[in-house]
Amino acid sequence: LDRAIFARGALAAALWLQSRPAGRYGMGDMVLVKTNT
């Protein structure tokens, strides 16, 4: 796998997390929110 793919996913997750309340999240949480909006 390309490292750029991992980096893009990590950045997307970080941007998503900054707007979420404190808690425990997984990548599945981010994907579900992105597909439902």
Q: Count structural domains, the chain.
A: 1
Q: CA torsion sign, 20 to 35 to 24 to 5?
A: negative
DSSP 12: H
2-37 pLDDT, tens digit per residue, is 899 889 988 988 898 898 899 898 878 877 766 665
Residue 23 one-letter amino acid: G
Contact 16, 31 (CB under 8 A): no
Of 6 and 1, more confident:
6
Structural domain that includes position 21:
3-36
Contact 17, 3 (CB under 8 A): no
Give pTM, 2 decimals. Answer: 0.62
Contacts of 33 (CB under 8 A, 6+ apart): 16
User: What pLDDT does residue 7 have?
Assistant: 92
